[in-house]
Amino acid sequence: MLSRRLIQFAVAFTLSLAALSLAAPTQVSAQAAANDVVMVLPFENTSNKSEFNWAGESFADALAELLNVPGLRVVSGDEREMAYQRLRLPLTTLPSRATAIKLAREAKATMVVIGTYSVAPAEGNTPAALQGRASVIRVNEGRLMGELMPDGQWATPVYDFGGALTTLQTMQGRLAYYILYQRDKALAFSQNQFVQQATKIPPLAFEAYIKGAQTSDSDPKREIYLKNAMRFYADANAGATYSQAAFELGQFYLRRQDWKNAAEYFSKLQKKEPHYAEAAFYTGLSYWKLNDYSRALAALVPLATEMPLTGIYNNAGAISVQAARAEKKPAERERLLTQALSYLSRASESSPNDPTVHFNYGYALFLAGKFAEAADQLRPVLAAGPGDGEAYFLFAKSLERAGQANDAAAADDQARRFLQVYARWQTEWQKSQTTNNVSLRLQLDFNRGSYQDAMRDRSQDAVDAGNTQDLLVKARELYAAGRDEEALTELRRVLTIEPMSAEAYLLIGRINQRRGDLEAAISALRTAIFWEAKLIDAHILLGRIFIERGDRAQAMSHARSAMQIDPNNAEAIALQRLVETGGK
């Protein structure tokens, strides 16, 4: 039996030949380059107007979001920064083509978008104008993306853009569309859809955000720009939060150790937003610094369920220990301690060589009265840090309570040697048998690398386990309810799992037709037929669209195809009659 991949190739090749012989537009397989990963670098300002440097970064930010379509993974801004760091390049570096390829390879990207632009400042009533050009490099081939022409020459498209600076986001939406269309002629989305997505942020808010993100922490304008971005966005969106600006403000206050403001801005981010996990992590850390354990756990406990990372488990467990230690009610104390043991056990399993985790887990076990187990957790802490006086103190008390007097005495000698506050801690122990001076150990930095790895794994798991039929059922229900945007979200998930889903493209065509975007509807419906030639509903809908556009020849072609598929289909019969009578 032929393999599925071979069958796909044979079908695509045959249809391509047929399309060429009929001089019709070529339909490119939706699975072409399905494993592509694209990286967008900041565009270079070639004019001598440094006050417009912010626009270059805006291209990287905007295109990274706009190019995120089914079948194409985008390197996030965080991943891009890590690639710069691994190559020891300053983030302000505007790389050459060779360096761009190195950065892309470091980020495991197969495509990299680069560009240049210049700005002519406003003069009188003439607004500032921007002109630019972009290129897409195929990383593995080391050349610009393009196509082989019949004469054997390699043709590369020119992505020129320009206009008033106030229309920058529109330029970015069009540019994203051109890039994606060049990659896949069967693109199921129209240029208008990309422009709408690109312009969803008010221009003033967008400009203020980009300027704020580029300004250093030491410059007071950074805070002003970001707050202006939030204000402009809220004014235009009934008080809604501009999440990217809120995240940057949270980072700004975090670095200044302004824990109250950091927690306030980080906590504004919602689960659906890209930086939610990092924001929730730092929300918990900020509230912990404020000794507000209840709010810290309110941020971290849901995150630990959503994102199983060692740092999140460790911090949720450590703060649970502190909350338990401060709790007066026995039942609540027991609940918090059980919660701490659960999270720290998971952290220990996920990172068995992390002394920070072992210390916290050992202390939680000690408070729970599991002294021998506590000692076992503290041994690797001491092996990693032989001068750790706090660990020796807890180790000695654990051994003492476990009935190992000689070993406890030896450990206590080491605690006296390395713990400067030993006398105070020992006095507390002798008076109340408590260890309230012991400090829990939190991880202070969110591990972006581990998070990105986890997100990639989760995405792959979703693809592997995805049930396209369930998603299609949900999309149909949403479409029937008139919730087109939500239906499109489900359909994009379908195409991520099954790029050849004719039914998904049919429904995308219906949505675009209902919206009045007939070009996008035609493109999607033709793609549906490309993958399932006998999809009668697609032929019927295309016939109706071409009647509406006055293209009787195309309408007749699809009416005949529908009748050949099922001559008894009532809608096909009605379409044929409509075409023959020339009605609308």
Let me know if residue 55 belongs to a domain. yes
- pLDDT tens string 31-84: 335 578 999 999 999 998 888 999 998 999 899 989 988 778 899 888 898 899
109: left (phi over 0), alpha (psi -120 to 50) or beta: beta
Last residue of a domain, one of 405, 426, 446: 446
Shared-domain flag, residues 574 and 534: yes
Shared-domain flag, residues 413 and 482: no
Residue 490 — φ and ψ, nearest 5°?
-65, -40
Determine the Cα–Cα distance for residues 277 and 390; give it in Å rounded to an integer. 31
Last residue of a domain, one of 200, 231, 248: 200
For residue 246, the model assigns a pLDDT of 96
What is the number of other CB atoms lying within 10 angstroms of the CB of residue 554?
Answer: 17
Q: Is the pLDDT of residue 245 over 80?
A: yes
Long-range contacts of the stretch 138-144 (C-beta < 8 A, 24+): 138/110, 138/111, 139/101, 139/104, 139/105, 139/109, 139/110, 139/111, 139/112, 140/110, 142/101
Count of domains observed in the chain:
4
Nearest to 27 by CA among 140, 168, 167, 184: 184
* CB 281, CB 311: distance < 8 Å: yes
**Residue 69, CA atoms < 13 Å, CB-side half-sphere:** 23
pTM: 0.68
* CB 252, CB 226: distance < 8 Å: yes
Shared-domain flag, residues 533 and 571: yes
Let me know if residue 280 belongs to a domain. no
- pLDDT tens string 470-494: 888 899 999 999 999 889 888 888 8
Q: What mean pLDDT is reported for the chain? A: 87
Let me know if residue 208 belongs to a domain. no
Shared-domain flag, residues 418 and 322: yes
- pLDDT tens string 129-164: 999 999 999 888 888 887 767 777 777 887 999 999
Last residue of a domain, one of 200, 226, 243: 200
Determine the Cα–Cα distance for residues 365 and 438; give it in Å rounded to an integer. 14
CATH of the domain at 97: 3.40.50.10610
Shared-domain flag, residues 380 and 352: yes
Determine the Cα–Cα distance for residues 357 and 433; give it in Å rounded to an integer. 24
Let me know if residue 183 belongs to a domain. yes
Separation of CA 23 from chain center:
41
For residue 372, the model assigns a pLDDT of 95
Shared-domain flag, residues 340 and 433: yes
Q: Is 381 helix (H, G, I), strand (E, B) or coil?
A: helix
Separation of CA 381 from chain center:
36
Shared-domain flag, residues 55 and 121: yes
- pLDDT tens string 434-460: 999 999 999 999 987 777 777 666 655
Question: Which residues have a Cβ under 8 Å from the Cβ of 541 and sit 6 or more positions away?
Answer: 506, 509, 510, 513, 521, 525
Shared-domain flag, residues 423 and 343: yes
Shared-domain flag, residues 2 and 56: no
Look up the domain containing 356 and give its range: 310-446
CATH of the domain at 532: 1.25.40.10
- pLDDT tens string 315-338: 999 999 999 999 999 999 999 999
Let me know if residue 517 belongs to a domain. yes
For residue 248, the model assigns a pLDDT of 94
Considering only residues 220 and 583, tell me which one the structure prediction assigns the higher pLDDT: 220
Let me know if residue 215 belongs to a domain. no
Shared-domain flag, residues 58 and 190: yes
For residue 43, the model assigns a pLDDT of 94
Question: Which residues have a Cβ under 8 Å from the Cβ of 337 and sit 6 or more positions away?
Answer: 320, 321, 324, 364, 367, 368
Integer angstrom CA distances of residue 368 from 113, 330, 340, 392:
56, 12, 10, 18
Nearest to 559 by CA among 354, 91, 387, 567: 567
Shared-domain flag, residues 58 and 152: yes
Q: What is the DSSP secondary structure assignment for residue 3, as one 8-state letter?
A: -
Residue 49 — φ and ψ, nearest 5°?
-105, 85
Let me know if residue 301 belongs to a domain. no
Let me know if residue 108 belongs to a domain. yes
Shared-domain flag, residues 49 and 189: yes
Residue 264, token pair as written in the block: 């306030």
Query: For the chain, give me the number of helices (H) and strands (E)?
Result: 27, 9
